Amino acid sequence: MRINTMLNRLPCLRRFRRETAGNLETVCPVRAGRRDRLLLLALAMLVGAGIAAAVYVHVYAAAPKPPDFALEGLDGKVYTLGELKGKKAVVLNFWASWCPPCQIEAPELVRLYEKYGDKVEIYAIDQLFADDIDNVQEFVEFFGYKFPVLLDKKGTVSRQYGVYGIPTSFFIDESGNLVTKLVGITKPENLEKLFANLAGAGQDS
């Protein structure tokens, strides 16, 4: 099945959009339980009222320590966050094959991994509790992911990190500190700045 056809058959339940300086940013809510759906509905109402936005970038001043986890990858290996501490920075990218914004973001992740992969790892964490493994495999092959694809089969890690919309990315430095959280998609140049900063290349690289 072609990826566009697949995504059309598994559409985003609702898209939260905000027009900012001509840049359309989009996020898909997670297919989750009743409490989470109510939270997303509340966010949608706030966005519609112009009170809040469901897509944002948050920079952590205190650099908290994100929770460790162990997840099986699409390749059958088990990956942990802790194994990267002191070795490489990492971007935790939560996504699903049915999410159109994830499709938009995917080529940029591939490009940035080719450029910064020696210093920045990507853990692409698929929300398999709300996805289909065959579609995940097709998505990964179609876009040519070379970085680890992890499977959140029960949604445990998504809940640990408070992921209510996808794509959501957490930027964690080499020391294991949470630096930035990105909800939704942004311009390629903005995404590259986040990778460059994490790699220690500076904002102007």
Q: Is residue 32 part of a domain?
A: no
Compare 11 and 177 and report the one with higher pLDDT.
Answer: 177
Specify the pLDDT at position 63.
63
Mean pLDDT of 170-190: 92
Compare 75 and 22 and report the one with higher pLDDT.
Answer: 75
Mean pLDDT of 95-116: 94
Q: Is residue 101 part of a domain?
A: yes
Mean pLDDT of 173-193: 91
Nearest-CA neighbor of 55 among 190, 178, 165? 165
| Whether the predicted pLDDT of 155 surpasses 70 | yes
Give 17's pLDDT tier (boundaries 50, 70, 90): very low
Share of the chain above pLDDT 90, in %: 59
Q: Is residue 23 part of a domain?
A: no
| Whether the predicted pLDDT of 178 surpasses 50 | yes
| Whether the predicted pLDDT of 185 surpasses 50 | yes
Specify the pLDDT at position 175.
92
Q: Is residue 51 part of a domain?
A: no
Tokens of 81: 């966050």
Q: Which residues pair with 165 in a beta bridge?
A: 29
Q: Which residues contact 81 (CB under 8 A, 6 or more apart)?
A: 66, 67, 68, 69, 90, 92, 123, 172, 176
Q: Is residue 40 part of a domain?
A: no
CA–CA gap between residue 193 and residue 189 (Å, rounded): 6
Q: Is residue 98 part of a domain?
A: yes
Whole domain around residue 156: which residue ranges? 56-198
CATH code, domain with 68: 3.40.30.10
Q: Is residue 128 part of a domain?
A: yes
Structural domain total, the chain: 1
Specify the pLDDT at position 29.
57
Mean pLDDT of 8-23: 36
| Whether the predicted pLDDT of 181 surpasses 70 | yes
Q: Is residue 108 part of a domain?
A: yes
| Whether the predicted pLDDT of 134 surpasses 90 | yes
Give 135's pLDDT tier (boundaries 50, 70, 90): very high
